Amino acid sequence: MGKTQSRAYEYTDSKCILIVEDDPMLGDLLLEALQQEETYGVLHALSGEMALRILQTDVPALVLLDYHLPGINGLELAEWLRSRKEHEHIPLLLISADIPREASGKKYLRTLQKPFELETLFQLVAELLASGAQGDPGGTLR
């Protein structure tokens, strides 16, 4: 089991941010950057299926989703989260170089287009954590 996968299963506190990113280098970069910036724990899942396993036991405060994932894509995972009572309140941020058109119509989903500045990500993460999905989550940031 790689460094990223083992970290994901060591942390079980519900005050965490879940990163679902299949690129291990980008996932680890985001994990380390958010760990330094936020007071929340950070988990990294390499696939939608791994995220589903984590979500069986953890309810994160925020989920960052890559769109292009092996198996279940980020938008499908977002829809799965919204269909579950225990996860429907979690703010979701879909991150991709090519945001699918159908994502723009989802009020519960914020989007961030790659490439992006870390400061933009930090600002958006802080807004989503503060709002707890109560704010206006729609829109694409570039």
**What is the residue extent of each domain of the chain?**
3-129
**Six-digit token pair at 67?**
């769109």
- The CATH code of the domain at 3-129 is 3.40.50.2300
Question: In the prediction, which pLDDT does 72 show?
Answer: 94
Please say if the pLDDT value at position 6 is more than 90: no
Which pLDDT score, from 0 to 100, does residue 2 have? 40
Q: Compute φ and ψ for 58, nearest 5 degrees.
A: -115, 145
Tell me: the pLDDT tens digits for 46-78?
A: 999 999 999 999 999 999 999 999 999 999 999
- Give CA separation, 106 vs 8, 44, 88, 115, in Å: 28, 24, 13, 22
| pLDDT (average), residues 10-36 | 84
The pTM of the full predicted model, rounded to 2 decimals, is: 0.83
